[in-house]
Amino acid sequence: MRRSDRIALISKTLSENPNKVISLSSFSDRLGAAKSSISEDLDIIKKALMASGEGELVTIPGAAGGVRYRTQRSMEAINAFLQGLCETLQDKKRIIPGGYLYMTDVIFSPEFSCIIGEIFSQLFFDKSPTHVLTVETKGIPIALMTARALNVPMVVARRDSRVTEGPSVGISYVSGTGQKIHNMSLAKRALPENARVLIVDDFMKGGGTAQGMRELAAEFKAEVVGTAMVVTTAVPKEKLVEDFTTLLILEGIDTHEGEVHISINGKLLSVLQE
Amino acid sequence: MRRSDRIALISKTLSENPNKVISLSSFSDRLGAAKSSISEDLDIIKKALMASGEGELVTIPGAAGGVRYRTQRSMEAINAFLQGLCETLQDKKRIIPGGYLYMTDVIFSPEFSCIIGEIFSQLFFDKSPTHVLTVETKGIPIALMTARALNVPMVVARRDSRVTEGPSVGISYVSGTGQKIHNMSLAKRALPENARVLIVDDFMKGGGTAQGMRELAAEFKAEVVGTAMVVTTAVPKEKLVEDFTTLLILEGIDTHEGEVHISINGKLLSVLQE
């Protein structure tokens, strides 16, 4: 097997396993090459990734060492993606009677959810989350893709507890906008104590659901290291949770004019600039 | 940029975009290389993939042409993965009071769901599905990963219709094992007419839910091109749907002895052998 063949296969394996430590020997065994050759191959991939700005290859030294691939996007690339997302969501055909915005196709799309998950992973990587938490249903695809990019398990709270999941812990919470009481529960075995939880959801208005997830995490003695939303409404300005990150802000929907006012969260780009 | 650098980046892009047609010019523009060089790079990747048996690169000729990467696993690799999955699920700690099997961590795992999705995509690729359909909640991660591998949208039926998704079509169905009546609905705009639908779910017992999804698909004038399950119970032998594919068969759970009897679907491997 020539170097170029090995590079093609190693690059493929790394892309398919973001944030997973892969030992040099596993490549060496699989590709029938000396560790020194694999090490040189990895060096080439590392430099190519660096030059392109499309990811990073980190070398972990020591006996349990190897390499780990991290997805990464430049600020420009993230900005361009979010700009495109805004344009997609501004389509007036998305306005649902009652003043809602139809986003289901976007958040359920493998392509969009994958990129959003990678952006969330990039934003919260340094917080070392051990689990991604969401609540059924719409947040699941993005939570899954975030968990994939971080190489950690995804945990999904249910609206009601399920007999097929064994003992569970449940909480009740009031939605941030209405006075309606909702329930949320999670199987006891789904989340270990002292987990570092990244909360992910598609949409936030009052913040009641996010606050519910925080309370649920607290019941499991977990630490919430971040709260990531795709879209957050500008109104109400005061949310039940204070510390959250959103990609887009929905300023409002003008059902009369058929206009959707949605924009990139300005603060997000300054976070990325740091 | 040298050939090895280009191969690293092209291989990465292909792995990240399964089943998507990518034009030679997009590579050529991005990497600053002549189309003839890109064409040679792709040839090297194609041969490396072929030699490894870990995927396939298909060239699409013509003006709208380019290359398309398909994930692929050998029968041996699929068998080994499913064997590992059986061993994971046989752990007696997974037995839930009432005789259920705790599988949530497995089907919500980014790694397992990704591989299962790629296996489903491989099994049904020739049926040219245009959409992957599941019903909330547990089937979503695997449906999403199947949709990703096939590069088609995922569509999720809800247990109740949502005001935020606009007009919807709903059906009622009786679960295959009980006499309980359930509802399932799908936003009208979620699925176009004449779609070719692959139904994906995590678990099947009587087949009522799968049958419900078929009826829902029929309401949208969609053709069901396949039904793919991760685990199907051996009992009842007669299911409400006839034509389905399952990866594993759950023969039974001996709560007294603490034993889970689960095995690879023998018919599956003969399908793959064809």
If you average pLDDT over every residue of chain A, what do you get?
94
DSSP state string for B35-66? HHHHHHHHHHHHHHHHHHTS-EEEEE-STT-E
Would the CB atoms of B12 and A15 count as touching at under 8 Å? yes
* Pairing of β B95-96 and β B100-101: antiparallel
What confidence tier does B156 reach under pLDDT thresholds 50, 70, 90? very high
Distance CA A62, CA A75 (A): 33
The reported pLDDT for the residue numbered A274 is 64
Architecture of domain A75-273: 3-Layer(aba) Sandwich (3.40)
Which residue from B minimizes the CA distance to A7? B8
The reported pLDDT for the residue numbered B179 is 74
Does the pLDDT at position B64 exceed 80? no
Distance CA B270, CA B274 (A): 7
**Domain B3-70, CATH:** 1.10.10.10
The reported pLDDT for the residue numbered A160 is 81
B180-185 average pLDDT score: 92
The reported pLDDT for the residue numbered B274 is 64
SS3 content of chain A, % helix, strand, coil (to 5): 45, 25, 30
What confidence tier does B98 reach under pLDDT thresholds 50, 70, 90? confident
Does the pLDDT at position A269 exceed 80? no
The reported pLDDT for the residue numbered A65 is 80
Would the CB atoms of B165 and A3 count as touching at under 8 Å? no
* pTM given for the model: 0.97
If you average pLDDT over every residue of chain B, what do you get?
94
Q: Using N-to-C axis directions, what is the helix angle for B24-31 and B35-52, rounded to 10°?
A: 110
The reported pLDDT for the residue numbered A177 is 67
Contacts of A53 in chain B (CB under 8 A): none
- Show the DSSP H helices in chain A as ranges: 3-16, 24-31, 35-52, 75-89, 104-107, 110-124, 140-150, 208-219, 266-273
Distance CA A48, CA A51 (A): 5
For chain B, state the CA radius of gyration: 21
User: What tens digit of pLDDT does each residue of A150-203 get?
Assistant: 999 999 999 987 778 899 999 999 876 667 899 999 999 999 999 999 999 999
The reply to whether omega before B129 is within 30° of 0 (cis) is: no
Q: Do domains A3-70 and A75-273 have the same CATH topology?
A: no
Domain boundaries of chain A, sorted by first residue = 3-70, 75-273
A128-152 average pLDDT score: 97
Residue A103 or A175, more confident:
A103
Distance CA A12, CA A23 (A): 15
Q: Tell me if chain A has a CB within 8 Å of the CB of B160.
A: no
A239-251 average pLDDT score: 96
User: What tens digit of pLDDT does each residue of B214-237 get?
Assistant: 999 999 999 999 999 999 999 999
Would the CB atoms of B45 and A16 count as touching at under 8 Å? no
Tokens 């594993």 map to which residue?
Answer: B248
What confidence tier does B164 reach under pLDDT thresholds 50, 70, 90? confident
Tokens of A133: 């938490």
Residues B233, B175 contacting (CB under 8 angstroms):
no
CA-to-CA dists, residue B191 to B147, B162, B232, angstroms: 14, 16, 27
Does the pLDDT at position B178 exceed 80? no
Tokens of A154: 């995804």
Does the pLDDT at position B59 exceed 70? yes
Residues A117, A148 contacting (CB under 8 angstroms):
yes
The reported pLDDT for the residue numbered A176 is 66
Q: Residues 205 to 264 of B: which have CB under 8 A from any A CB?
A: none
Q: Tell me if chain B has a CB within 8 Å of the CB of A15.
A: yes
What confidence tier does A255 reach under pLDDT thresholds 50, 70, 90? very high
The reported pLDDT for the residue numbered B223 is 98
Q: Select from B68, B69, B72 the least CA-distant residue to B21.
A: B68
Nearest by CB to residue A8, choosing from B48, B147, B151, is B48
The reported pLDDT for the residue numbered B177 is 67
CA-to-CA dists, residue A66 to A16, A24, A38, A60, B16, angstroms: 16, 5, 11, 5, 22
Would the CB atoms of A9 and B54 count as touching at under 8 Å? yes
Q: Tell me if chain A has a CB within 8 Å of the CB of B87.
A: no
The total number of residues written for chain A in this structure: 274
Does the pLDDT at position B161 exceed 80? no
Tokens of B242: 């006839």
